[in-house]
């Protein structure tokens, strides 16, 4: 039965590789940031089933370790792809418009816009652009990390993973 460290390394790898496949048309820094986001996403969810259902015995696997939970995540790949496209669009908007507008509140009804078009505005814009790309990879990596845990337990444990819950199948 895989331990926490094995799940962590497998989920980081699964998240990074899944994000890399999804970002195969990106180039340079955009590709690297998405892959990094995928690896971090996999890292955050790789041990999540064991957090929900602690491994206190070999019979600990139930709904969170089930093939149904993994299948539910896999079924959302199209929605995750749509979210990734949205994140990439937001990142492209940041590239196209490198200025930032800061709204300073004067009182409850009036705000004063201050345009940050110098170095500060460009810096903040670059941070936002990279965060959108990171998020594009993070979600697919998080899904891959969770599914990698369920799959690893299904093929390596004596008892496998249940179809729905421990008491049912």
In a domain, 113, yes or no: no
Q: Is residue 163 included in any domain, yes or no?
A: no
- Higher pLDDT, residue 65 or 90: 90
> Does residue 141 sit within a domain?
yes
Q: What is the pLDDT of residue 96?
A: 80
On whether residue 166 sits in a domain, the answer given is: no
Place of tokens 């337990």: 153
Q: Quote the mean pLDDT of the chain.
A: 80
Contact of 141 with 37, CB cutoff 8 Å? yes
Q: State the total domains in the chain.
A: 1
Residue 41 or residue 75, greater confidence: 41
| pLDDT for residue 168 | 46
Domain span holding position 51: 4-95+134-156
| Distance between CA atoms of residues 26 and 24, nearest Å | 6
Strongest mean pLDDT among 26-30, 60-64, 150-154, 162-166: 26-30
pLDDT, one tens digit per residue, over 109-139 is 888 877 777 777 788 888 989 999 999 999 9
Q: Would you say the pTM of this structure is higher than 0.85? A: no
Residue 114 is assigned to a structural domain of this protein = no
Return the DSSP state at 115: E
pLDDT digits (tens, 9 = 90+) for 66-101: 667 777 777 778 888 899 999 999 998 888 877 777
- Write down the residue that tokens 């019979």 correspond to: 59
Placement of tokens 């816009």 in the chain: 113
Question: What value does the mean pLDDT take over residues 55-72?
Answer: 63
Is residue 40 assigned to a domain? Answer: yes
Whether 116 is covered by a domain: the verdict is no
Residue among 19, 45, 25, 29 at smallest CA distance from 135: 19
């Amino acid at each position: 039965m895989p331990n926490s460290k094995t799940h962590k390394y497998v989920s980081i790898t699964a998240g990074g590789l899944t994000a890399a496949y999804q970002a195969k048309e990106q180039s340079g820094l955009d590709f690297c940031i998405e892959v990094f986001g995928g690896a971090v996403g996999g890292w955050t969810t790789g041990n999540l089933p064991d957090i929900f259902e602690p491994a206190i015995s070999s019979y600990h696997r139930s709904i969170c370790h089930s093939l149904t939970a993994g299948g539910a995540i896999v079924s959302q790949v199209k929605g995750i792809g749509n979210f990734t496209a949205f994140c990439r669009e937001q990142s492209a908007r940041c590239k196209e418009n490198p200025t930032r507008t800061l709204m300073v509140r004067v009182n409850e009804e009036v705000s004063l816009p201050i345009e940050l078009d110098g170095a500060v505005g460009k810096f903040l814009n670059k941070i936002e652009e990279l965060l959108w790309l990171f998020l594009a990879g993070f979600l697919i990596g998080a899904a891959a990390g969770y599914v990698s845990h369920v799959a690893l337990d299904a093929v390596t444990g004596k008892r496998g993973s249940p179809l729905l819950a421990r008491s049912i199948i």
